[in-house]
Amino acid sequence: MREKKAFINKLFRESSRDYKVFFGDNTYVSIGLSEEAIESTIKRTMLAACIPQHLVYAYKKTGIIVNEDGYRNMSREDRAEYDRAIDEYFEMEKKQKSTQ
């Protein structure tokens, strides 16, 4: 609830899934970012946080970032898509190692 109130105080409106905005706690100006800029920022942040490469790859393929609890609560379809992306990563890694 506090985050919602802070969003409204900064942007004078409620948030929407159709409008992507990033802003820091000390900024008073919103910055609209392209989908590519958002994805690039998320990927760099994941790598800086030492997130395992297979999870970064799964995010890139599916757009899904989850923790263990979130994974358990995913729909069957989303979990299958996420698992396929992880399997694909390890298969690519295996092929790469066999060609070295």
Domain spans, the chain: 2-32, 39-98
Asked whether the CA dihedral 74, 75, 78, 79 is positive or negative, the reply is positive
Please report, for residues 53, 61, 80, 81, 85, the alpha-carbon distance to residue 92 in angstroms, rounded to integers and kept in the order given.
12, 14, 18, 17, 11
pLDDT over 60 at 63, yes or no = yes
The reported pLDDT for the residue numbered 89 is 97
Burial class (CB in 10 A: 0-12, 13-18, 19+), 82: buried
The reported pLDDT for the residue numbered 54 is 95
Q: How far apart are CA 1 and CA 84, in angstroms?
A: 35
Of residues 45 and 33, more confidence is placed in 45
pLDDT over 60 at 62, yes or no = yes
Structural tokens at position 63: 């757009």
Global pTM? 0.64
Stretch 8-32: mean pLDDT = 62
Averaged pLDDT score across all residues of the chain: 82
pLDDT over 90 at 5, yes or no = no
pLDDT over 70 at 30, yes or no = no
